[in-house]
Every structure is written in C-alpha cells, then in structure tokens.
A and B are shown apart, each in its own frame.
Chain A
Amino acid sequence: QVRLQQWGAGLLKPSETLSLTCTVYGGSFNGHYWTWIRQPPGKGLEWIGEIFHTGTTNCNPSLESRVSMSVDTAKSQFSLRVSSVTVADTALYYCARRSCSPTTCNTWIDYWGQGALVSVSS
C-alpha cells in the first residue's frame, strides 16, 4: 500500500521560504508524478505543481515564479520550496501522487499525504 508522509516548517514570517518534504512508502517511486496541492483554511483546493521522478516539472503559472520542486529517488522523497511567502500562502499543504503506467498518466490524484499546516504571520 502506498503511503505518503510529509513534514516541514509550520510557522513562517512574510518573505521567508516555505520548505516541505514528502517521503513515499510502498509502491514504486519511479514512473509517477509527485504533486503538491494546498488548501487555505476553510477554502478550496489549489494545485501547486508536480514533478516526475526524472525531475521534469509542471507548475501552476500563478505560483511558478516562487516555486521550486525537487526529487531524491534514492530516498523516495520529493520536496517543495516556495519563496517570499505572504499571509496568502497560509494553507494546509498536501503531497500526493498522480499515477502513471508505462503508456499513460491518470488525470486524477489517487494517493495523498496527511497534510502539513503552514502559517505565515508577522
């Protein structure tokens, strides 16, 4: 069974950099898109971006200038960094998986981490 466990800094000040890491247990790390999604308190879901095990990324254009993602296949980990955070970046951040087969990738997210709350406040 695939399980995603995430951790990272919970309280940040404006202009600091958010950093989160997700470790994948079970299943194959290679061959899937590893995804970040966030949810502001009481609000809906926003896709941040995704990274393939090769390092290829897709990113939400609204966040692209501040977002960087990386993978460490040896550790089955992937990471997110968001620079110059503001109060608007306060959210529950989920790591997740968009599964792929050798020939195609799903359009949906099938595995999620538990979420990590990141608060930005001066």
Chain B
Amino acid sequence: DIQMTQSPSSLSASVGDRVTITCQASQDIGTDVNWYQQKPGEAPKVLIYDASNLQTGVPSRFSGSGSGIDFTFTISGLQPEDVATYYCQQYENLPPLTFGGGTKVQLK
C-alpha cells in the first residue's frame, strides 16, 4: 500500500496568514494527489485535484503543488471559514485509495 504522511497534524494561524501543509508519499505517485477540506459535521469536499488543479468554485487562495513523492497544499491568506481539517489523498495504484492523517487548522 502507498502511505501518505501528512504534516503537521495541527496548526494555529491568524487571519491572513499563509498556511502550508505537506504530504509525502511512500513511493512515486506522479501527480495523483488530491486535497480535501472537512468542516465539523460535514463530509469532505475536494479542493485540489491532480496535485495542482483547483476544483470548480473553490476560492483561488487555495493551491497545491508537487509531484513524485512530495506535495504541498497552501492557503494564501487564511480566512475564518477555512477552519477545518485538511486531507491529502492518493489513488495512483489501486487498491487501496489512501488518505493522509489530516491537518486540523485553527485560528490563533
């Protein structure tokens, strides 16, 4: 199985801060990484697909980059509504589809 190691597990930041989350795959997965946002009591929602593509309707302050093993998710200008848990996910080799452990983003 391909493991996705996500860090940090939690962070606190101020409104307007740049927030960066990383995910490292246990083997080369090209650009087959997606990023989700999950707010409390809600199902996850895909924000970034194929490492760097913004899902329709998602604000442009969200972005993703990387290929191979190392991937980065960035919020450039944290907003109060961005408080959530964020997950990376891969499906380069199936099965299984795997998720990172999650990063809980809180306001300072």
Q: Do A and B come from one complex?
A: yes
Bound-state Cα–Cα, A87 to B66, Å? 38
Interface size class of A (residues with CB under 8 A): 20 to 34
Looking at the assembled complex, report how far the CB atom of A101 sits from the nearest CB atom of chain B, in whole angstroms: 14
Interface residue ranges of A27-49 to B (CB < 8 Å): 44-47, 49
Closest to A62 in B: B96
Contact status B95-A58, CB under 8 Å: yes
Looking at the assembled complex, report how far the CB atom of B17 sits from the nearest CB atom of chain A, in whole angstroms: 24
Closest to B91 in A: A107
Contact status A108-B46, CB under 8 Å: yes
Cβ-based interface call for A84 (8 A): no
Contact status A108-B89, CB under 8 Å: yes
Bound-state Cα–Cα, A46 to B4, Å? 12
The segment from A7-15, A16-24, A110-118 found at the interface with B is A110-118
Cβ-based interface call for A78 (8 A): no
Bound-state Cα–Cα, A94 to B99, Å? 14
A-B pairs, top 4 by smallest CB distance, nearest first, are A112-B43, A108-B34, A107-B91, A47-B97
Q: List 28 A-B contacts (CB under 8 A).
A: A45-B44, A45-B89, A45-B99, A47-B96, A49-B95, A49-B96, A58-B96, A59-B95, A59-B96, A60-B95, A61-B95, A61-B96, A62-B96, A94-B43, A96-B43, A107-B49, A107-B50, A107-B97, A108-B34, A108-B46, A109-B36, A109-B89, A110-B46, A110-B55, A112-B43, A112-B44, A113-B43, A114-B43
Contact surface of A with B, Cβ cutoff 8 Å: 44-47, 49-50, 58-62, 94, 96, 106-110, 112-115
